Amino acid sequence: MRSLNVLISGASVAGPALAYWLHRHGFKPTIVERAPALREGGHAVDFRGQAHLSILRRMGVLSELEAVRTDIASTWYVNSEGRRQARMPDDLFSGDVEILRGDLARVLYEASRDRAEYVFGDSITSLTEDGDGVNVTFERGAPRRFDLVIGADGLHSNTRRLTFGPEENYVKHLGVYCAIFTAGNHLGLDRTGHAYLTPGRLVAMYSTKHDTEARAVLYFASPPLERVRRNVERQRAVLTEHFAGNGWQSDRLLQDMHHAPDFYFDSVGQVRMDGWTRGRVALVGDAAYCPSSLSGMGSGLALVGAYVLAGELAAAHGDHRVAFARYEEAMREYAVGCQKMGDGVAGFMVPQSRLLATFLKQYYKVMPYMPGKKLMVAKTRKVAENIALHDYAA
């Protein structure tokens, strides 16, 4: 087998997982990450079913993830005074292992840092392919040459833009934006979360780090906004416009927002592409098939994609043409199924009409007692497990 030098763009979930498996199969991975260090913060993400858990177990990180799981027992919708109105089913919204995205990134980094070269604070500026490899230039570092380049750089993938074209050709905006940041647990939440719904807006808080702090999550309905990406001051101003005077904890969280060390703001979208590979470049995770944060499938899908892509490269003895075709074939149905879990969710999670918001508040009160709840849980698990994973090591 030829020991390929593989450049991976992105050090969140798919990137470190891919680096781990590439090294295990005898390849030489390098990860370049635009951020100066690992990104902290982010929402809670979950893994469910044997497809996800078997990969984590083979990586040797499952027990470590279980040790730092969020352990949220329940989530309640509340009114403007904070009185509990409806309890959401735990098994519907959290999987077998739920963990903060920042903790997941740290565990995957620690599992892969001795197996890969990490370059923080830099990003790719151009990719020039020839018959034998790819010449890569960077914002800060000297040009380098690699056998393959993999984009694991998220919804707004730079690698996808350089290889396939403008983002607007592939990213579908789902009509909402989301902000997430750490706040003080001034409500004294104990392994629980509270959510407050108004037309076009959702404010939520849940306890983290053994109840010593809380994570604030703000969703609001909006068409695509201009001049907000990487403009933190503009992002904070937009949130203030939408949530000032909204009620419950909205104004308090707007104050906490200015002091949060891990402030995150982005649109909620899906990535739809006919193909995820071109020449010596491939995409994995959210860069290729982001199902949106509303699907609950993003991290698990990224983990599976990284495992399959590395495994197919190993099975093809480094022949990227064979491996990339098999990767797309193996992942297509699974990725489409995961994306369907996010279809239509935005309209119910952040209803824009007062009538629908009122109806949903009443529906959530009886939802835990409805027979359809078990079917919803079973469907979610079925989608998460709808792929047969090969034992590439064998």
pLDDT for position 2: 66
pLDDT for position 280: 98
88 domain-assigned: no
Question: Based on the domain organization, do 276 and 331 belong to the same domain?
Answer: yes
Q: For 184-227, what is the HEC assignment?
A: CCCCCCCCEEEEEEECCEEEEEEEECCCCEEEEEEEEECCCCCC
Burial of 347 (0-12, 13-18, 19+ CB in 10 A): middle
Q: Which domain holds residue 283?
A: 5-72+97-171+269-347+377-384
Nearest to 92 by CA among 378, 363, 345: 378
**CA atoms within 13 A of residue 279's CA, in its CB half-sphere:** 19
Instruction: Look at residue 343 and give its three-state secondary structure.
Output: coil
pLDDT for position 62: 95
Burial of 315 (0-12, 13-18, 19+ CB in 10 A): middle
Residue 370 CB: number of other CB atoms within 10 A? 12
In the numeric block, which tokens belong to residue 151?
């984009």
Q: Is the pTM of this model over 0.85?
A: yes
390 domain-assigned: no
Residue 248: which CATH number?
Answer: 3.30.9.30
In the numeric block, which tokens belong to residue 39?
């990104």
Question: Based on the domain organization, do 21 and 138 belong to the same domain?
Answer: yes
pLDDT for position 373: 61
Question: Based on the domain organization, do 54 and 124 belong to the same domain?
Answer: yes
Amino acid sitting at position 181: F
79 domain-assigned: no
391 domain-assigned: no
Question: Based on the domain organization, do 311 and 360 belong to the same domain?
Answer: no
Question: Based on the domain organization, do 303 and 339 belong to the same domain?
Answer: yes
91 domain-assigned: no
Q: How do the pLDDT tens digits run along the chain, 394 residues long? A: 568 999 999 999 999 999 999 999 999 999 999 999 998 878 889 898 899 999 999 999 999 999 988 878 788 999 999 999 988 866 666 678 989 999 999 999 999 999 999 999 999 999 999 989 999 999 999 999 999 999 999 999 999 999 999 999 999 999 999 999 999 999 999 989 999 999 999 999 999 888 889 999 999 999 999 889 889 999 999 999 999 999 999 999 999 999 999 999 999 999 999 999 999 999 999 999 999 988 889 999 999 999 999 999 999 999 999 999 999 999 999 999 999 988 888 888 888 888 888 888 887 787 777 666 667 777 888 888 999 999 998 7
393 domain-assigned: no
92 domain-assigned: no
Is-contact 158 17, C-beta < 8 A? Answer: no
Residue 113: what are its φ and ψ, rounded to 5°? Answer: -65, -30
DSSP for 245-271, written as a single string: T-STTHHHHHHHHTT-TT-EEEEEEEE
In the numeric block, which tokens belong to residue 322?
């064979």
Number of domains in the chain: 2
Question: Based on the domain organization, do 358 and 226 belong to the same domain?
Answer: yes
Question: Based on the domain organization, do 352 and 331 belong to the same domain?
Answer: no
Q: Taking every pair of C-alpha atoms in the chain, what is the biggest distance, in angstroms?
A: 65
Instruction: Look at residue 109 and give its three-state secondary structure.
Output: helix
Question: Based on the domain organization, do 331 and 297 belong to the same domain?
Answer: yes
- Residues whose CB falls within 8 Å of the CB of residue 18, separated by 6 or more in sequence, listed in order: 8, 29, 150, 152, 284, 306, 309, 310
For residue 54, the surrounding DSSP H or E stretch is helix 49-59
Q: How far is CA 334 from CA 14, 95, 159, 273, in A?
A: 16, 18, 23, 14
> pLDDT for 41-72, tens place per residue?
788 898 988 999 999 999 999 999 999 888 78
What separation, in Å, do the N-terminal and C-terminal C-alpha atoms of the chain show? 15
Question: Based on the domain organization, do 258 and 136 belong to the same domain?
Answer: no
pLDDT for position 230: 87
Question: Based on the domain organization, do 209 and 60 belong to the same domain?
Answer: no
Residue 257 backbone class (left: φ over 0; alpha: ψ -120 to 50; beta: rest): alpha
Instruction: Look at residue 111 and give its three-state secondary structure.
Output: helix
327 domain-assigned: yes
Nearest to 15 by CA among 1, 42, 35: 35
Residue 37: which CATH number?
Answer: 3.50.50.60
Question: Based on the domain organization, do 126 and 53 belong to the same domain?
Answer: yes
> pLDDT for 97-123, tens place per residue?
989 999 999 999 999 999 999 999 999
- Distance in angstroms (rounded) separating the CA atoms of residues 69 and 117: 28
Alpha helices in 290-344 (DSSP H): 298-315, 320-340
Question: Based on the domain organization, do 138 and 282 belong to the same domain?
Answer: yes
